[in-house]
Amino acid sequence: MNIFFDTSALAKRYVNEQGSEQVDEQLSIASTVVVAAITKVEILSAISKAHRANRLNDSEYHILKATIDEDFKFYTILPLNETIEMLAIEGIERYSLKTLDAIQYASCVQKNVTAQRKNIEINSAIYGGV
């Protein structure tokens, strides 16, 4: 099964929090993990912020960054293109999505894969009950 992970869902792979077990289960059954082009940058931004705030020490930060770099070698990364741009604009207009959320939405819609989302109510509204 191809599963699309947005940043907030996939980040649970790297930070133990509510929903991490569900993400790990989905990752274990996924034949292909699909992510938007912006996902790695967003995750690295979040862990960099945690490092600057001293929630991660230097060693933890570098180990986590290396793990993310390694994992992303095996993910299918959807590049930004005209179709994603058009769908992102649709997401902004139809669902009042913020910019990066609209790119995540558009990437998922373009790939037509099962979405693993943090918020099921939003997921249902945006993706039609996926």
The one-letter amino acid code at 76 reads T
Render pLDDT for 67-121 as a digit per residue (tens, 0 to 9): 999 999 999 999 999 989 999 999 999 999 999 999 998 998 887 654 544 433 3
Q: What integer pLDDT is reported at residue 128 of this predicted model?
A: 42
pLDDT of residue 98: 94
**Domain range 2-125, its CATH number among 3.30.70.330, 3.30.465.10, 3.40.50.1010, 3.90.550.10:** 3.40.50.1010
What is the tens place of the pLDDT at every residue in 26-79?
A: 999 999 999 999 999 999 999 999 999 999 999 999 999 999 999 999 999 999
Q: Please, which pLDDT band fits residue 17 given cuts at 50, 70 and 90? A: confident
Question: Distance between CA atoms of 9 and 22, rounded to whole angstroms?
Answer: 9
Burial class (CB in 10 A: 0-12, 13-18, 19+), 58: exposed
**For the chain, percent helix, then strand, then coil, each to nearest 5?**
60, 10, 25
Extents of the domains making up the chain: 2-125
pTM of the model: 0.81
Among 6-10, 56-60, 125-129, the range with the most confident prediction by mean pLDDT is: 56-60
pLDDT at 118: 41
Cα angle for residues 49, 26, 5 (degrees, 5° grid): 45
Instruction: Read off the pLDDT band of 3 (50, 70, 90).
Output: confident
Residue type, 115: A
